[in-house]
């Protein structure tokens, strides 16, 4: 993949969202029993959005250059977009308003020492920092222990998306809900592509995954998008076993494009005990091996 074409992204995204909505779901009468489209027709979307058919057709052909925020909101409502999908539509519009898209800071591949200090100060919970293309940029000791299967790959920075799709056997063992994780990873990469389609690292990653993984190609083609949010993650760690973790994913305002992820568990639960055991194991890995030969 040499580039991510914003016009093609707009066309495929709008047409895919239109295809999933039936007239009944949109509150429209379904005239005739021989519809040639699975979802709404373009003219039906235009009607619902309050724009001319020609105008909407131009939008779906990849031109959002002159679309106002009001028009984008109307189209988002007509297509019943969720929050992530609406944000994605606005990102695509911003990219199309200038020939080369809005200038963005190149996504970081390192973190400031002060951020590593913040991670190291979090001693009872795994905490790590990544960018929007899933590069693992910094971890505290507990996160390094937790994500040891991901970090087993020698390439650096380690990348969760590559682990999920290119090391799927290990990933299926590690992630209890592997299918959902695979969906989420592709959807979040698609979201990042809307924000920053000129990111060479992202383009290379999507190209690598598309070349090597049929599952990724299917997920990518779905045009689904998702925001990084809080939630639950169920893991099976090779040392401590099953962990059901609460995840908080937070943007770092001083470092655009970076996310701080912290995993916790309620006190007194099996997962909290598992994290304590994981901390002990991580500490043991840091201790120098003791020479047991007779030194007398």
**Could you give phi then psi for residue 259, rounded to 5 degrees?**
-125, 135
Output the pLDDT for position 293.
39
Judge if 254 and 120 occupy the same domain.
yes
Output the pLDDT for position 106.
60
Q: How far is CA 212 from each of CA 60, 165, 207, rounded to the nearest angstrom? A: 30, 8, 9
Judge if 154 and 279 occupy the same domain.
yes
Q: How far is residue 14's CA from residue 223's CA, in Å, rounded to a whole number?
A: 9
Q: How far is residue 9's CA from residue 193's CA, in Å, rounded to a whole number?
A: 9
Output the pLDDT for position 145.
97
Whether residue 105 contacts residue 256, with contact meaning beta carbons closer than 8 Å, is answered with yes
Question: How many CA atoms are closer than 13 Å to the CA of 82, on its beta-carbon side?
Answer: 6
DSSP one-letter string for 38-57: SS--HHHHHHHHTS-HHHHH
Low-confidence ranges of the chain (pLDDT < 50): 102, 289-296
Output the pLDDT for position 36.
75
Judge if 19 and 130 occupy the same domain.
no
Q: Give the domain CATH number at 259.
A: 3.30.450.180
Whether residue 190 contacts residue 220, with contact meaning beta carbons closer than 8 Å, is answered with yes
46 within a domain of the structure (yes/no): yes
103 within a domain of the structure (yes/no): no
Last residue of a domain, one of 71, 96, 121: 96
106 within a domain of the structure (yes/no): no
Judge if 82 and 40 occupy the same domain.
yes
Judge if 129 and 91 occupy the same domain.
no
Output the pLDDT for position 292.
40
105 within a domain of the structure (yes/no): no
Q: Give the domain CATH number at 65.
A: 1.10.260.40
Residue closest to 260 by CA, chosen among 156, 121, 142, 131: 131
Q: How far is CA 282 from the centre of its chain?
A: 28
SS3 assignment, position 157:
coil
User: How many domains is the chain partitioned into structurally?
Assistant: 2
Judge if 73 and 141 occupy the same domain.
no
Q: How far is residue 265's CA from residue 247's CA, in Å, rounded to a whole number?
A: 9
**Could you give phi then psi for residue 128, rounded to 5 degrees?**
-155, 160
Whether residue 195 contacts residue 107, with contact meaning beta carbons closer than 8 Å, is answered with no
Judge if 163 and 234 occupy the same domain.
yes
Whether residue 107 contacts residue 255, with contact meaning beta carbons closer than 8 Å, is answered with no
Output the pLDDT for position 1.
58
104 within a domain of the structure (yes/no): no
Structural domain containing residue 39: 6-96
Output the pLDDT for position 65.
86
Q: What is the pLDDT of residues 135-189, one digit of tens each?
A: 999 999 999 999 999 999 889 999 999 999 999 999 999 999 999 999 999 999 9
102 within a domain of the structure (yes/no): no
Judge if 47 and 135 occupy the same domain.
no
């Amino acid at each position: 993949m040499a580039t991510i074409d914003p016009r093609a992204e707009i066309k495929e995204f709008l047409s895919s969202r239109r295809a999933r909505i039936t007239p009944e779901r949109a509150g429209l009468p379904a005239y005739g029993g021989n519809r040639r489209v699975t979802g709404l027709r373009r003219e039906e979307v235009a009607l619902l959005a309050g724009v001319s058919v020609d105008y909407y057709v131009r939008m779906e052909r990849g031109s959002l250059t002159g679309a106002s925020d009001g028009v984008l909101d109307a189209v988002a409502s007509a297509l019943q977009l969720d929050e992530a999908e609406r944000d994605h539509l606005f990102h695509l519009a911003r990219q199309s308003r200038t020939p080369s898209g809005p200038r963005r800071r190149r996504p970081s591949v390192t973190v400031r020492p002060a951020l590593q200090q913040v991670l190291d100060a979090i001693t009872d919970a795994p905490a790590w920092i990544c960018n929007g293309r899933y590069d693992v940029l910094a971890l505290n000791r507990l996160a390094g222990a937790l994500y040891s299967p991901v970090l087993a790959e020698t390439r650096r920075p380690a990348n969760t998306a590559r682990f999920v799709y290119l090391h799927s056997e290990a990933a299926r063992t590690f992630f209890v809900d592997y299918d959902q994780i695979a969906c989420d990873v592709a959807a979040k990469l698609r979201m990042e592509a809307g924000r920053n389609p000129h990111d060479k690292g992202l383009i290379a990653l999507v190209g690598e995954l598309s070349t090597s993984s049929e599952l990724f190609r299917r997920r990518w083609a779905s045009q689904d998008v998702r925001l990084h949010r809080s939630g639950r993650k169920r893991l099976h760690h090779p040392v401590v076993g099953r962990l059901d973790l609460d995840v908080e994913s937070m943007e770092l305002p001083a470092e655009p494009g970076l996310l701080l992820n912290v995993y916790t568990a309620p006190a007194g639960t099996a997962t909290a005990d598992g994290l304590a055991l994981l901390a002990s194991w991580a500490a043991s890995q840091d201790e120098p091996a003791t020479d047991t030969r007779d030194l007398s």
